[in-house]
Amino acid sequence: MSMNRRGFLKNAAWAGGAVGVGAWSGCMSSSGISARKGGSMAGFRCEPMATVRVGVIGVGHRGPGAVRRLSSIPGVEIRAIGDLYEDRVAKQVKVLTDKGLPAPKGYFGSQDAWRGMCESNVIDLIYITTPWLWHAPMALYAMRCGKHAVTEVPAAMTVEQCWQLVDTAEETRRHCMILENCCYGFNEMFALMLCRKGVLGELVHGEAAYIHDLRASHLREDHENGYQGQWRLNWARQFSGNPYPTHGLGPVCQYMDINRGDKFEYLTSVSSGQFGISRAAAKKYGSNSPQAKAVYRQGDMNTSIIKTYRGRTIMVQHDTTSPRPYSRLNLISGTKGILSDYPLRVALEPDPHRWLDDKKLEELKAKYTHPLWAKQGEYAKKMGGHGGMDMLMDMRLIHCLQNGLPLDISVYDTALWSSVVGLSVDSVARDGRPVRVPDFTRGGWKTADPLEIVTL
């Protein structure tokens, strides 16, 4: 992993630019279901482990926060840290030793150093916080080495990679979970409670998004403050679709019991023209600069519509190049009412034409606060990480591993939510034509238990 930036990007390129459109929705039979290579992972439980030994790959942006959070959870030992840069590893080792914890082993010095971490016999869980092109390859290798794998979002960039994650998890009997922290946000878990308790009635429609003005981050060139090697910008030069769907989509899927009583049927996706990056590049580098004149295929706004087996619809949007306030939309509509976020609002029968006033909304929130937030919310907010959601995610992950419980987010969720990347690219390239969504559960969605109202 430790090499110069050019070498890193060259070796990462196979996972991105070399992929043609035909690869995005491949790896399926005509029925959309591939042959199972192992046992189902629905409700999978591993042997309880009193101590969870963790190796963290990637300590640039997201990794340091993960090290801090995980090291504060009882029963967690961070045994290894790996990164492209040795100084990053050393910094996180010092963070741990300054807390009186044992020094983890550092992995650096070659592009394949992280593989040694996966091969180690003193690690149970590989925690991946690298650029997205590395997520699937690292998770796959970790599972093949007998480790549970969790990864930042999205977990895969093609549908073929999604199937590989599913097949490998089933074969190796190892967990593979996408680290979708937004599923643990207060508003998202409040919405989940309203859905579970029937307050919104029969669910009809959801809206999800990642709308975040990242123009400045796209164009930064230093590895400390930008996307190292401009990897996110490089993606925008090659493809148009939704490369980052899961922050908004994951929670909506949990509201609707997707993979647990319902499934995606097909998706259609269109992208607007590209304006924001070219203008931002011209402003920073000059209108005649190579950066301003470069072709960027990623449209400013991508909109995908998903139809489910039970007749629901989900809209998913992506825009990181427009001057707009941050939003994940987080809307869920049912036959008795609606919750709409950014800002948080609820309207219910018998007066669905008006949003609840502040007092009634606070009363509803108090009544339907998710138990995980009621019990651990204040501690999670103190520990930080997007208002506490990151900490709750990590605490719940470790709790499940220590107690041999199924994870809240299965490999099937991991694959399905991530598959929107490849499927949207495919649909956009085909002028918005519908594309069938694979059933990664291979029919298991019909009998899988709903997600419980969990706690620690």
Domain enclosing residue 100, as ranges: 5-34+51-179
Whether 131 and 236 share a structural domain = no
Give the pLDDT confidence score for residue 83 in this predicted structure: 96
Q: Of 9-13, 16-20, 382-386, 390-394, which has the strongest mean pLDDT? A: 390-394
Q: Which residue has the higher pLDDT, 3 or 309?
A: 309
Exposed e or buried b per residue across 159-169, where buried means at least 16 C-beta atoms within 10 angstroms of its C-beta: bbbbbbbbbbb
CATH of the domain at 230: 3.30.360.10
* Measured distance CA(186)–CA(373) in Å, rounded: 7
Contacts of 320 (CB under 8 A, 6+ apart): 210, 211, 212, 213, 214, 215, 218, 232, 244
Give the pLDDT confidence score for residue 23 in this predicted structure: 40
Of 126, 149, 179, the last residue of a domain is 179
Give the pLDDT confidence score for residue 227 in this predicted structure: 85
The whole-number average pLDDT for the span 371-387 is 96
CATH of the domain at 12: 3.40.50.720
Q: Is residue 429 part of a domain?
A: yes
Of 129, 148, 179, the last residue of a domain is 179
Whether 150 and 210 share a structural domain = no
The whole-number average pLDDT for the span 427-438 is 98
Contacts of 213 (CB under 8 A, 6+ apart): 320, 321, 322, 323, 324, 326
Query: Torsion angle of alpha carbons 124, 129, 133, 138, nearest 10°?
Result: -10
Q: Which of the four pLDDT bands, split at 50, 70 and 90, describes residue 24? A: very low
Give the pLDDT confidence score for residue 351 in this predicted structure: 97
Whether 149 and 293 share a structural domain = no
Of 179, 212, 239, the last residue of a domain is 179
